[in-house]
Amino acid sequence: MRVVVDTNVWVSALLNPAGGPARVLRAYQDGRFELVGSEDAFDEVRRVLARPRIAKKYAIPSPMADEYVALLRERADLHAPTPAAKVARDPDDDRWIDLAIEGRADALVSRDGDVLAQEVTDYLEAHGVRVLTVQRFLDHLGGKGHP
């Protein structure tokens, strides 16, 4: 299964190792799905982790954030999508739509209400991409996402 995973899921996976996003990370590490990514998406993960309040509160030094992004990027199928979609309420979220379509993803996993909105899910489903919450994705993987 080819999957685009939104930044908010990857950040949450690192910040809360007991949560659902961390189970998504473990499933990726176990090779249970193929990650469709982009340099832009991985740069965004790095930027969010470098925000002073996050870096300080969770004690995430820059080298740790770089290693985490390298781990995500290591086996990802990288794409540089052309901006095309103008569907999401937040225009920044259109990048996920473009990546999912151009990367021929089967699913887009997110915790962002704008990405999970009906207009986005309808648009992506018309392109063969399912939009899933973390829990629905884990359920789809089987066993509620437990390896």
**Which of 113, 35, 104 lies closest to 72, judged by CA?**
35
CATH number at residue 75: 3.40.50.1010
Model pTM score: 0.91
Q: Which residues lie closer than 8 Å to 6 by C-beta, 6 or more apart? A: 96, 108, 109, 110, 111, 112, 115
- Residue 57's domain spans which residues? 2-145
Domain tally for the chain? 1
- Give every strand in the sheet of 34-37, ordered side by side: 77-78, 34-37, 2-5, 107-109, 130-132
pLDDT digits 0-9 by tens, 120-141: 999 999 999 999 999 999 999 9
Render pLDDT for 29-84 as a digit per residue (tens, 0 to 9).
999 999 999 999 999 999 999 999 998 899 888 899 999 999 999 999 999 988 88
